[in-house]
Amino acid sequence: MMQPQELVARVKGYDPGVDAALLERAYDYARKAHAHQKRASGQPFFSHPLEVAAILTEMRLDEATIASALLHDTIEDTSATRDEIDRLFGEEIGHLVEGLTKLKRLDLVSKKAEQAENFRKLLLAISSDIRVLLVKLADRLHNMRTLEHMRPAKRRLVAEETLEIYAPLAGRMGIQWLRDELEDLSFRWLEPEAHRTITHRLEELRRENRGLIDEILAALEAKLEQNDIKAKVTGREKKPYSIWRKMENKQISLEQLSDIYGFRIIVENVDDCYRALGVVHTTWRMVPGRFKDYVSNPKQNDYQSIHTTIVGPRHQRVELQIRTQRMHEVAELGVAAHALYKDGVNGGGNGAADHAETNAYQWLRRLVETLLEGDNPEEFLEHTKLELFHDQVFCFTPKGRLIALPTGATPIDFAYAVHTDVGHSCVGAKINGRHMPLVTRLMNGDEVEIITSDAQTPPAAWEKIAITGKARSAIRRATREARLKQYCELGRRILSAAFERIGKSYEDKLLARGLHRLPQKSEDEVLAAVGRGELASDDVVRAVFPDIEPRRPDAARRALRNRRQEASASKPGRRKRSGTQARTGRREEGWFSLKKVMNLKFRIPGKSAGQQDDARRGIPIRGHRGDVPVEFAEGGAVPGDRIVGSLTRGSGIRIYHIHSPELERYDDQPERWLDVTWDVDESRAERFPAKIVVTALNEPGTLAQIAKVIGEADGNIDNLRMLHRAADFTEMLIELEVWDLKHLNEIVTGLKARPAVSRVERVFR
């Protein structure tokens, strides 16, 4: 076990001014606190926090972080308290240890909903001080290194969680070596056979290529030296997990990979990066499509390097990374490598605040902002995983501002990355000067200009197009707000009518009087509840005016009854059923021809199944545009019909034909009736549902004649059902989709003209 002097010596190697006494006190305190505890392996428990501290010295972290690592299990697993830690080691270390204690209590190895909520808590904890995350990552790394001592089921869950959350987080923070090791350890336990196979094959390749790596290194060093470029050239071997993932994604064999061996050229400054690139490209042939410049366009985790692939000695493909020493430190250590962060900590500043300028930390802060806006935890976890795993594309605004987005991002994601208000008002986009659809996938180097309009609000369908968590979250929030606004306006109109019935004028401020008598906490919540049908308007009236009993006059009821009577008076007389049923005897083959197609759906070509199956579609209703759900009642209605609306509890507005028998249920609830009229957009073709009952002869070809009449009239049969069967006639219910009332009447007239059809009647049941 490492002694305190050895730990202090490690820290002094990169920080000569370290407070050795502080680290020794933390060492002794933690060792005594965990003296009687053992790990699953049988080793003293203190070996774990000591190894975590040792890992952090490899990341060259400050003394407070190292001390916190030694103490990170004391509050949770021993009798130590936060007050005691503060008194002995200072509030800064106490704050870090408490943050780590909270994280330890999170069980991310759990079912999805719990894991999502705990992941939110994890990000909230680490957002206050990035050092909490660094200690947590080191803690996870040591646990993964000793995973063989866990039960197999628990081992697999921990490995999955590490691969899904902790390894990507390490990558986003720019700590590449830590990500590589976490991924490889997880791969070892999740896919043991694949890990063994790839490891064995790599050993064979090393033997086969013995001497090749030295030859390539020598050739690179010689060429750079000839051009007076001081450089350190090193070789590296791709990790088994990276190899396996690439083989899986590209469906290729290990032998087909061109970058199993890679080489790094580390130079003194940025100019030398591009000089070295010129030497390499003029000496060896470059592989097309394999060049990436992350020096001028750094990744979101601050990674910088020039990547290229050449056909080098022995016609071997060689992947090269060219970077400065400073870039190399950032590439390996990520946020821990930033002098700005270390200076802030050593100078007594707030680590999180001082580190806010790095891209990696900005990403973390944006993520925390997203979760604080109240997204569903499971959706948040899903979107975060998408962002963790996606590669990036780099696009530009017309003014040259660089916007980094996940691969597959659209102009909608770009607009929200610029600013939430830009996303909300987006109506179109120009990509490289050309108008392009908002569903277009952006490519590296695209210049994107977002076209905006103050009248625009984001459609809910955008959520399925956007792929970034920020865009989806903002769209959902805007959709909720728009729906709430619509429900509030609807509730306001209902309450205005209710107040008028008792001789009072409605004002929003009056609701404050009755809030203590209602379950809602604010005026807007009351209005929305009334609008959704969850709160009766009479209850609100009684809450505001407890001494006045709401009157329920029959005026509204009479108005609806009058409208129905007027419509009935103007309706053509029904065609009486005649004795034409005796025109033919029963024909068994005809009856069977109808029986065979009972309950089958008829489709008109050119219309998707999804469009035709949706029997509850929204319709444009004057005065109710937006996100208030609008649906048809049973039996449907078409433009040209006399209609009435009813407020349904929790479902929005339901539209009824004036003759719908369902309206009788609401005769005693006039506050739920809405006076609505059609407001159909002529430029937008849309079909509407209607039902007819057809009585026809049982003979071959009858059903074909009916379908032909409807099809030739451009109607759509959505469903067909046999209702009643007599000796010679069958009564069938046909659910249609038509453009308007005139179109429906044309179909009915065409059907009545057929000799095989006895009667056609529209129904609303």
DSSP assignment of 140-161 equals: HHHHHHTGGGS-HHHHHHHHHH
Separation CA 508–CA 500 (nearest Å): 14
> Is pLDDT of 578 > 70?
no
Going by C-alpha positions, the residue among 730, 728, 149, 729 that lies closest to residue 720 is: 730
> Is pLDDT of 376 > 80?
no
Q: Is 305 exposed, middle or buried (0-12, 13-18, 19+ CB in 10 A)?
A: buried
- The percent of residues in the chain predicted with pLDDT above 90, rounded, is 25
> Is pLDDT of 538 > 90?
no
At 155, list the tokens. 């081992």
Do 482 and 457 contact (CB within 8 A), yes or no?
yes
Helix (H) or strand (E) holding 761: strand 757-763
What pLDDT is recorded for position 601? 27
The pLDDT-based confidence of 185 (bands split at 50, 70, 90) is: very high
The pLDDT of 379-385, averaged and rounded, is 54
- The 3-state DSSP composition of the chain as helix, strand, coil percent (nearest 5) reads 50, 15, 30
Helix (H) or strand (E) holding 570: helix 555-570
Measured CA distances, 350 to 84, 135, 241, 362 (Å): 22, 17, 37, 15
> Is pLDDT of 552 > 70?
no
Separation CA 655–CA 641 (nearest Å): 11
What pLDDT is recorded for position 87? 92
> Is pLDDT of 557 > 70?
no
Beta strands in 440-588 (DSSP E): 448-452
Going by C-alpha positions, the residue among 141, 143, 101 that lies closest to residue 122 is: 101
Separation CA 413–CA 463 (nearest Å): 10
Do 736 and 747 contact (CB within 8 A), yes or no?
yes
Tell me which residue has tokens 């990509």: 431
Q: 231-237 and 261-267 as β-strands: parallel, antiparallel, unpaired?
A: antiparallel
Q: 652-657 and 630-632 as β-strands: parallel, antiparallel, unpaired?
A: parallel
What pLDDT is recorded for position 362? 62
Rounded to 5 degrees, what angle do the CA atoms 262, 264, 267 make? 165
Tell me which residue has tokens 């390894």: 167
Rounded to 5 degrees, what angle do the CA atoms 570, 571, 575 make? 145
Do 634 and 765 contact (CB within 8 A), yes or no?
yes
* 579: three-class secondary structure by DSSP: helix
Helix (H) or strand (E) holding 494: helix 469-501
Adjacent-strand bridge partners of 678: 621
Rounded to 5 degrees, what angle do the CA atoms 603, 608, 613 make? 70
Do 102 and 137 contact (CB within 8 A), yes or no?
no
DSSP string, 598-620: TTPPP--TTS-HHHHH--S----
Question: What is residue 34's DSSP assignment?
Answer: T
Residue type, 103: L
Beta strands in 391-479 (DSSP E): 392-396, 402-406, 426-431, 434-436, 448-452
At 730, list the tokens. 């069958």
At 325, list the tokens. 């020493």
> Hey, what's the torsion of the CAs at 68, 69, 73, 78, to 10 degrees?
-60
At 20, list the tokens. 């050795």
CA atoms within 13 A on the CB side of 218: 6
What pLDDT is recorded for position 236? 79
Adjacent-strand bridge partners of 435: 430
The pLDDT-based confidence of 225 (bands split at 50, 70, 90) is: very high
At 594, list the tokens. 């109808």
DSSP string, 184-251: HHHHHHHSHHHHHHHHHHHHHHHHHTTTHHHHHHHHHHHHHHHTT--EEEEEEE--HHHHHHHHHHHT
> Is pLDDT of 608 > 60?
no
Instruction: Name, of 159-163, 254-258, 599-603, the range with top average pLDDT.
Output: 159-163
Name the residues annotated as catalytic.
76-77
> Is pLDDT of 109 > 60?
no
584-590 long-range contacts, CB within 8 A, separation 24+: 584/697, 584/699, 584/728, 585/728, 586/698, 586/727, 586/728, 587/698, 587/699, 587/700, 587/728, 589/700, 590/697, 590/698, 590/699, 590/700, 590/702
Which domains are seen in the chain, by residue range? 4-190 (1.10.3210.10), 196-336 (3.30.460.10), 359-460 (3.10.20.30), 478-544 (no CATH), 557-763 (3.30.70.260)
DSSP string, 707-757: HHHHHHTT-EEEEEEEEEE-SSEEEEEEEEEESSHHHHHHHHHHHHTSTTE
CA atoms within 13 A on the CB side of 9: 5
Question: What is residue 500's DSSP assignment?
Answer: H
At 320, list the tokens. 């090269």
Residue type, 592: F
> Is pLDDT of 555 > 60?
no
More confident residue, 113 or 17: 17
Measured CA distances, 192 to 136, 158, 464, 633, 674 (Å): 26, 15, 37, 58, 66
Q: 261-267 and 317-324 as β-strands: parallel, antiparallel, unpaired?
A: parallel
Measured CA distances, 740 to 569, 686, 704, 759 (Å): 21, 9, 24, 21
What pLDDT is recorded for position 172? 75
Separation CA 516–CA 512 (nearest Å): 8
Instruction: Name, of 17-26, 107-116, 350-359, the range with top average pLDDT.
Output: 17-26
> Hey, what's the torsion of the CAs at 666, 668, 671, 673, to 10 degrees?
30
What is the per-residue pLDDT across 621-675, written as a single tens digit (0 to 9) for each? 443 444 556 777 777 788 888 888 777 665 567 888 877 877 777 666 666 677 6
What is the per-residue pLDDT across 198-207, written as a single tens digit (0 to 9) for each? 888 888 877 7
More confident residue, 651 or 460: 460
Residue type, 27: Y
At 120, list the tokens. 């939110």
Residue type, 287: V
The pLDDT of 530-539, averaged and rounded, is 82
* 649: three-class secondary structure by DSSP: coil
